Amino acid sequence: MRLSGRKIVGGKAEGELIVSQKPLSFLGGVDPETGIVTDAESDIRGQNIAGKILAFPRGKGSTVGSYVIYALKKNGKAPKAIIVGEAETIVATGAIIAGIPMVDGIDVSKLRSGMRVSVNADEGLVEIEE
Amino acid sequence: MYLTKEEELILAGEYGYALQKAMEILVALGEIYGADKLIPIKSAQIAGVSYKNIGDAGMEFLRDFVDAGAKVSVYTTLNPAGIGDDEFMEKQMEVLELYRKMGIEITSTCTPYYGANLPKFGDHLAWSESSAVSFANSVLGARTNREGGPSSLAAAIVGKTPNYGLHLDENRKATVIVNVDAEVETFVDYSALGYHLGKVLGSDVPYFRGLRPSNAEYLKEMGAAMAASGSIALYHVEGETPEYRWAIADKLETIAVEESDIRAVKEAFSDDWSEIDMILIGCPHASLAEIKEVAELLRTRGKPLKVPLFITAGRAVKALADALGYTETIERYNGRIIPDVCFVVSPIRGWYRGIATNSGKSAFYFRSFGFSVRLDDAENLIMEAP
């Protein structure tokens, strides 16, 4: 399956998907030391996003969330790439300052955790291995 | 989004890492929100100052930016800092120092317009303190979106912001008419009105009918409360604010605010004096007129407060209060003017049990942090306080 979206931050990455079907808050929602999701409202609470390709519909919460994404990168716990339905300021800014490839305009409901994907953010492409 | 030759070069990294990252942020936001180009800004105002809010992650980001030689290219001021224990203050001072190294004025205030960062009508800005954004847009007629800390910093460094949202005429029109069918006369009435509407409206552009504010502080307070309980960044008041004549679009929904709506907010924050061990005036940071009023009230009261009174204000305003003798009067009655800081962004849990304030914005946050809260006008608070 090939999904086409829009580049927010360029770059390429491959790996295993972790998918939240709910909006995700990074400030207070993801532990920057471990990469574990702590957001009480999240459907991937308790799971680790480090080294995965992270997909969710959109960000929510404090704009300080951008810095949490930066901290994840500094601590080696960042996702390899970010896929969202709709980019907003918090996550986009975090991905830019952390240098994480990011694509938006993807229908996240088509994605499932555990799928293998390759992301070509420069072209806005997400390819899922069948 | 169209970029000039120079902007393209900045984006390609020809002017170094810091400018490149800043430009990447602006270009990405411009693309997300459909901006046609970047426009120059007159000033920036940056959130993400309290160590409580940005933490080590934010500091690391700022340090890397400073090391890369980041410098602001327009007049830029900061949001208030936090206060806490010694360990906290050490980190807090370090945050301020990082901002200073980027050429930012360390006037840490949520009301920079009471100092040198006073925009004029039509100026484009990149501000990120929600109450200041509301005041600049609504009362001054300047133009800014609700920026996040990193995006206002990026705009300050590049000196530009993407042209979308409230920078455009069409987005400054009202989206709802608010008929005020209630007596709204005092500071706390405006605060309660704003608090109520923020919850009801979310991110609308309200157009008020039936309001006659006797001073700009009332509008400041209403806007701050609306931007805290909702995400309102611009409102118009018929006959009062500078853009109301062009604000009405066709077919607007109308809502009414009644006496009971205002009363409900006041009743929600009416904890007893026995639970209060601090009085706070100055959220958003007090103007000189507000400080003068407190000094006069204390003189009328005639005996010192048992519960300490704190007034938070920008340092420029405090300097004026010092010069005019208000500070001395306030201190004589167990009050203090504290410059540069904000209790809402400070780790003060455990320092106090309950806070009495005239600010709906403060009331909203302190209640959510678990404090007892009493919301009333400065006059009532100072006359009734133990």
The residue count for chain A:
130
What's the rounded Cα separation, in Å, for the pair A39 and A36? 9
**Least CB–CB distance from A96: residue in B24, B58, B149:** B24
Q: What is the pLDDT of residue B172?
A: 97
Mean pLDDT value of segment B297-308: 96
**Least CB–CB distance from B28: residue in A9, A63, A71:** A9
For B97-121, how does the pLDDT look when each residue is reduced to its tens digit (9 = 90+)?
A: 999 999 999 999 999 999 999 999 9
Mean pLDDT value of segment B52-77: 93
Q: What is the pLDDT of residue B161?
A: 98
Q: Which two tokens stand for residue B225?
A: 């409360």
pLDDT of residue B296 exceeding 80, the answer is: yes
List CB contacts of B86: < 8 A, sequence separation 6 or more.
Answer: none
For A59-78, how does the pLDDT look when each residue is reduced to its tens digit (9 = 90+)?
A: 887 778 899 999 999 999 99
pLDDT band at A125 (very low <50, low <70, confident <90, very high): very high
For B344, counting Cβ atoms within 10 Å of its Cβ (0-12 exposed, 13-18 middle, 19+ buried), the class is buried
pLDDT of residue B199 exceeding 80, the answer is: yes
Collapse the DSSP code of B146 into the 3-class scheme (helix H, G, I; strand E, B; otherwise coil) and give the result.
Answer: coil
DSSP line for B17-71: HHHHHHHHHHHHHHHHTT-SSEEE-SEEEE---SHHHHHHHHHHHHHHHHHTT--
Q: What is the pLDDT of residue A61?
A: 75
Q: H-helix or E-strand containing B89?
A: helix B86-101
Is the CB of residue B21 less than 8 Å away from at least one CB of chain A? yes
pLDDT of residue B53 exceeding 90, the answer is: no
CB B95 within 8 A of CB B132: no
Pick the closest to residue A13 from A65, A49, A60 (CA basis). A49
Complex-level ipTM: 0.83
pLDDT of residue A130 exceeding 80, the answer is: no
**Lowest-pLDDT range, A111-125, B29-43, B308-322, B358-372?**
B358-372
- Which of A96, A102, A103, A104 has the highest number of chain B CBs within 10 A, making it the mutation to test binding with B? A96
Pick the closest to residue A22 from A72, A53, A61, A67 (CA basis). A61
What's the rounded Cα separation, in Å, for the pair A2 and A110? 11
Mean pLDDT value of segment B35-62: 93
Q: What is the pLDDT of residue B198?
A: 92
**Structure-model confidence comparison of residues B235 and B349, the more confident one:** B235
Q: What is the pLDDT of residue B249?
A: 79
Pick the closest to residue B81 from B64, B98, B60, B101 (CA basis). B98
List CB contacts of B14: < 8 A, sequence separation 6 or more.
Answer: none
Q: What is the pLDDT of residue B158?
A: 98
Q: Which chain B residues are within 8 Å of A64, Cβ to Cβ? A: 48, 53-55, 58, 149
For A76-86, how does the pLDDT look when each residue is reduced to its tens digit (9 = 90+)?
A: 999 999 999 99
Q: What is the pLDDT of residue B13?
A: 96
For B18-28, how does the pLDDT look when each residue is reduced to its tens digit (9 = 90+)?
A: 999 999 999 99
**Lowest-pLDDT range, B95-99, B248-252, B312-316?**
B248-252
pLDDT band at A129 (very low <50, low <70, confident <90, very high): confident
Q: Which chain A residues are within 8 Å of B148, Cβ to Cβ? A: 63, 66, 89-90, 93
Q: Which chain A residues are within 8 Å of B24, Cβ to Cβ? A: 9, 96
Mean pLDDT taken over chain A: 93
Mean pLDDT value of segment B172-192: 96
User: Model's pTM, two decimal places?
Assistant: 0.92
**Lowest-pLDDT range, A51-55, B319-323, B345-349?**
B345-349
Residues 41-70 in B contacting A (C-alpha not used; CB under 8 Å): 47-48, 53-58, 60-61
Q: At what angle do helices B216-229 and B360-368 cross, to 10 degrees?
A: 30
pLDDT band at B47 (very low <50, low <70, confident <90, very high): very high
pLDDT band at A90 (very low <50, low <70, confident <90, very high): confident
Q: Using the 8-state DSSP alphabet, how is residue B124 labeled?
A: B
Q: What is the pLDDT of residue A6?
A: 94
Q: What is the pLDDT of residue B350?
A: 85
pLDDT of residue B368 exceeding 90, the answer is: no
